[in-house]
């Protein structure tokens, strides 16, 4: 399987460069194909196409842009099984997870964005005190969209659909380790009749294509999801051309479990930490437990972790699959070993593969107890199925521990006391707080603070990320 064509200016074209990256099946550690990595000439061609398409698309009737996304959604639904298969193949998500969670997110985001557009105002009155003033929201311009491999179509849809509806043109650079789902999505956009040059796809790595997009003078905005380290590099690279930079970065979520939490709180937290083999920026990877229920919570967490099956991604069931790559596997193993060496108590899992798997990037579901928040396993984003349990003695201490991290993406609160939950949620430094297992509603903004970035994606907030604000006075009642 060779991914060697890019979608530029409405056509599938051969990559200009000759660099190829081998695609590795994380279940077997064997190559199943290659992807062509773009160079500066590929980037320049894609950006030029987006720049040419910008005047017409930015001024296109909002109903036209909405109709394009409606056609995309219809075609997507007809190919959703292909999307699930592609995601499972490229990043090792178990096929049932790929079908039930990964692929369906593309459908969900398109649906939510279309709902947001029903009452979205691109021209807004300033207020009754200024009847002849209007606030006009206009597309930021050409957007470079750089997406990760862990939830590939989730991040692609969050960015691409919002940019389309806002009136931006774009160049998408997906992770070079997950090119299949992005290529399929480009085919869907082509079939939906999105005008030539509005959407362009090129494959490549961060040091090549990512760097060129970040510094390109004809790119107006970079929207990046990935590691904090890479986000900092992109911000620096974009500074000379004063681009807008949107960042959704890493996390080290705290799950605060109080003594009055419901009986399923610990189990729910463990399972959520291990979803997608722990490869989630919003994973509740630090479980903070009130001292009076600490010992019992550790026992439950260990028992749940030991019951979680691990297996190949082509098997049906609720197992966790492999992590994405040898590099990721080795990093997780190193951090697990640091937890042991640092004095944390290993109560489930540990170093190495599960006993029945002798190849593939499979990690044992691992739980550490008696963790100090100063330990490496509590400070660094592990991005694997590793949970750290930390005791606390008071509400104040729990909040202090939760906020004592460079990150600020998602935190979690488990308590039956309504007043306490509201108080704690307001004091947690994060872009999102989920309580008692209640997921965020459709269209809720996704994003963080501190080292977790500063963007908001999804719903009306996601569309506004790609818009500039213009103030106009002397507005006529007869609109041009």
Task: Please list the active-site residues.
Answer: 248, 281
> Any idea what DSSP says for residue 422?
H
- C-alpha distances (whole Å) from 261 to each of 258, 289, 301, 416 are 5, 10, 15, 6
Burial of 172 by CB count in 10 Å (0-12 exposed, 13-18 middle, 19+ buried)?
buried
Alpha carbon distance 319, 308 (integer Å): 7
State both tokens at 413.
């609160």
State both tokens at 480.
């041009």
- C-alpha distances (whole Å) from 384 to each of 294, 354, 412 are 23, 14, 19
The residue whose two tokens read 């090792």 is 92
State both tokens at 373.
């928040």
465 by DSSP, 3-state: which?
A: coil
Q: Are 134 and 126 in contact (CB under 8 A)?
A: yes
**Alpha helices (runs of H) in 23-121, residue ranges in sequence order:** 40-58, 62-78, 80-91, 95-97, 103-117
Alpha carbon distance 146, 141 (integer Å): 16
Which among 66, 154, 153, 168 has a CA at the least distance from the CA of 114?
66
Please give the full DSSP string across 144-162, using - where no structure is assigned. EEE--SSSHHHHHHHHHHH
Determine how many CB atoms are found less than 10 A away from the CB of residue 438.
7
**What phi-psi label fits residue 126: left (phi over 0), alpha (psi between -120 and 50 degrees) or beta?**
alpha
Q: Are 273 and 265 in contact (CB under 8 A)?
A: no
The residue whose two tokens read 């009136």 is 167
Q: Are 80 and 107 in contact (CB under 8 A)?
A: yes
Q: Are 116 and 459 in contact (CB under 8 A)?
A: yes
Determine how many CB atoms are found less than 10 A away from the CB of residue 475.
17
User: Helix crossing, 103-117 with 152-166: angle to 10°?
Assistant: 20
80 by DSSP, 3-state: which?
A: helix
Alpha carbon distance 130, 108 (integer Å): 39
For strand 169-173 and strand 199-201, is the pairing parallel, antiparallel, or unpaired? parallel
Alpha carbon distance 461, 395 (integer Å): 32
């Amino acid at each position: 399987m060779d991914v060697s064509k890019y979608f530029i200016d409405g056509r599938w074209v051969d990559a200009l460069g000759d660099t190829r990256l081998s695609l590795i099946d994380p279940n077997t550690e064997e190559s199943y194909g290659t992807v062509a990595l773009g160079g500066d000439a590929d980037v320049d061609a894609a950006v030029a196409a987006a720049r040419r398409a910008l005047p017409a698309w930015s001024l296109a009737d909002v109903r036209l842009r909405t109709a394009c996304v409606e056609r995309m959604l219809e075609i997507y639904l007809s190919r959703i099984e292909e999307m699930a298969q592609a995601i499972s193949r490229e990043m090792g998500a178990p096929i049932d997870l790929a079908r039930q969670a990964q692929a369906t997110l593309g459908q969900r985001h398109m649906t939510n964005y279309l709902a947001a557009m029903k009452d979205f105002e691109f021209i807004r009155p300033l207020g009754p005190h200024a009847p002849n003033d209007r606030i006009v929201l206009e597309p930021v311009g050409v957007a470079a969209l750089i997406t990760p491999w862990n939830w590939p179509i989730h991040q692609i849809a969050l960015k691409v659909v919002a940019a389309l509806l806002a009136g931006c043109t774009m160049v998408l650079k997906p992770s070079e380790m997950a090119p299949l789902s992005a290529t399929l999505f480009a085919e869907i956009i082509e079939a939906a009749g999105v005008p030539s040059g509005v959407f362009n796809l090129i494959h490549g790595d961060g040091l090549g294509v990512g760097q060129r997009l970040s510094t390109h003078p004809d790119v107006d905005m970079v929207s990046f999801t990935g590691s904090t380290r890479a986000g900092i590099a992109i911000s620096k690279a974009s500074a000379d051309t004063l681009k807008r930079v949107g960042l959704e970065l890493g996390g080290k979520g705290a799950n605060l479990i109080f003594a009055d939490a419901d009986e399923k709180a610990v189990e729910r937290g463990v399972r959520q930490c291990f979803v997608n083999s722990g490869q989630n920026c919003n994973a509740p990877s630090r479980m903070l437990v009130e001292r009076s229920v600490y010992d019992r919570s550790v026992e439950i967490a260990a028992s749940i972790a030991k019951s979680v099956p691990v297996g190949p991604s082509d098997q049906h069931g609720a197992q966790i699959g492999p992590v994405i790559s040898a590099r990721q596997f080795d990093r997780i193993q190193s951090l697990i070993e640091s937890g042991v060496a640092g004095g944390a108590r290993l109560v489930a899992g540990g170093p190495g593969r599960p006993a029945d798997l002798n190849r593939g990037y499979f990690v044992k579901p691992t739980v550490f107890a008696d963790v100090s928040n100063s330990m490496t396993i509590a400070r660094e984003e592990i991005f694997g199925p590793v949970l750290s349990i930390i005791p606390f003695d008071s509400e104040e201490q729990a909040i202090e521990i939760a906020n004592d991290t460079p990150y600020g993406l998602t935190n979690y609160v488990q308590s039956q006391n309504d007043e306490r939950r509201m108080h704690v949620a307001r004091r947690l430094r994060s872009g999102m707080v989920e309580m008692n297992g209640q997921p965020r509603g459709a269209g809720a903004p996704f994003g963080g603070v501190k080292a977790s970035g500063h963007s908001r994606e999804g719903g009306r907030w996601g569309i506004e990320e790609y818009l500039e604000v213009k103030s106009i006075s002397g507005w006529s009642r007869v609109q041009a």
